[in-house]
Amino acid sequence: MVFTAPRRVEVRTAPLPPLQDDEVLVETFCSAISAGTEMLVYRGQFPHLHDSQDGLSSDLEYPLAYGYACVGKVREVGRSVNREWQDKLVFAFQPHSSSFIIHPSSLIPIPHSLLPENACFLPNMETAVNLVQDGAPILGERVLVLGQGVVGLLTASLLSEFPLENLTVVDGIEMRRRELKVESGKLRVKSLTPADLRPSTFDSFDLVFELTGSPAALNTAIEHTTFSGRIVIGSWYGQKRAEIDLGGSFHRSRIRLISSQVSSISPELSGRWDKPRRFDVAWQALERIQPQKWVTHRFSIDEAGKAYQLLDEHPQETIQVIFEY
C-alpha cells in the first residue's frame, strides 16, 4: 500500500526480490494503523525531516509506503539463516504489505502467549512504556492524561498500576473514555470530557501527559499543572501549529516540558536500559492489558482507502483499525 498524495492511497502489486542467503520471507497476518502518525502522512501534514533520529520519520516524500506494525509468520529462510526462524510468528516495523523480505535481525519474535492482533499493538505499547518512563510518576502523585486514543489508553492503563493519589483521563470522544477499564481495581480512574476539566481543587496535577495530537492542548496541560510539575509531550504535531500561552502562569510555575519520543531512550536511563529490555517490558504489559479488545474495525488491504477515509472523517467511531491479509 502506498500514499501517493494527500488523502490518496493505492494498493500496488509488485514482485518480491529474490531471497538472499541471509534473509527471510514473512507472510503478513495483520498490521495496525497508527492513527496519529499515519493520518499526518495521509493528510500531507508531515514535516520534511532529514535527520529525525527515527528512520520512519526521515525524508518523507510522496509516493510513500508507510506503516510500522506488521505481524506475520516466517515462510522461507535463506541458506545461511538459522532454521529456528522457520514458521516463527514475528513482528516487524514494516509498511503495510501482504509479504516482505527482511533480514532476521529486524524481526522481533512474538511470545507464544500473544495473539497476532495483540502483537500489532507493540509499537504503541513501547511508546506508552517510554512515556511513563519519561514522566517517572512518584508515589501519591496526581496524574492527568490528555487524549484517549490507543497510546493514551495504553499509557493510562500502565499508570493505573501505580500507587497514585488519583488518575484522570480526558478525551472528547465518549467511546474512548468508556473503554478504559481498570481490571486490577487498585486505582479509581476519573474519565472527563474536555468541558469537565475546569479549575478546581482536583485539577492541579503533578504530572500531565499530552497525547491528543493537538498542539493547542498544551495550553490545557499548562493550565492544569501545579507548581514545579511536569508535562510529558508524546504527540507528534507534524506541521500543525497553535498559539501556546507561555506568558501566564507557566513562567512563574517552573513547569517542565518533556519531549518524549520512542525512537530513543532518555539519557538518564540509557546507561542501564536498551531497546531489547524495553521491548521485554512492553510484551509483558501487552499480556496484562490485552489491548486487542480495542480493535474496532478490520479491513482487507484492498480496502485501505476506506480505512483511512473512516479515520479521517469519522474518528469518533474508531479506536484501533487493523488490516487483515
Domain identity same for 189 and 67: no
Could you tell me the sign of the dihedral formed by the alpha carbons of 13, 19, 20, 24, in that order?
positive
Whether 295 is in a domain gets the answer yes
Whether 90 is in a domain gets the answer yes
Whether 189 is in a domain gets the answer yes
Which residue, of 259, 275, 310, is where some domain finishes? Answer: 259
pLDDT at 55: 47
- Say whether pLDDT at 135 is over 80: yes
- Say whether pLDDT at 49 is over 90: no
For the chain, give the percent of residues with pLDDT over 90: 77
For the chain, give the percent of residues with pLDDT over 70: 93
pLDDT at 61: 87
Give the chain's length: 325
pLDDT digits (tens, 9 = 90+) for 274-314: 999 999 999 999 999 999 999 999 999 999 999 999 999 99
Domain identity same for 163 and 40: no
CA distance 143 to 287: 24
pLDDT at 187: 79
Whether 280 is in a domain gets the answer no
pLDDT at 59: 64
Domain identity same for 143 and 242: yes
pLDDT digits (tens, 9 = 90+) for 238-251: 778 888 888 888 88
Whether 154 is in a domain gets the answer yes
Which residue, of 237, 259, 281, is where some domain finishes? Answer: 259
- Which alpha helices (H) appear in 190-262, and where do they start and end? 217-223, 249-253
Whether 78 is in a domain gets the answer yes
Domain identity same for 182 and 250: yes
Domain identity same for 61 and 139: no
Q: What is the pTM of this model?
A: 0.92
Cα-flanking dihedrals φ and ψ of residue 279, to 5°? Answer: -60, -40
CATH, residue 236: 3.40.50.720
Domain identity same for 239 and 194: yes
Domain identity same for 248 and 303: no
Domain identity same for 141 and 224: yes
Question: How many domains does the chain divide into?
Answer: 2
Whether 82 is in a domain gets the answer yes
Domain identity same for 138 and 235: yes
Domain identity same for 80 and 158: no
Contacts of residue 305, Cβ cutoff 8 Å, sequence gap at least 6: 9
**Containing domain of residue 8, as a range?**
2-110+290-324
Whether 249 is in a domain gets the answer yes
CATH, residue 42: 3.90.180.10
- Say whether pLDDT at 201 is over 80: no
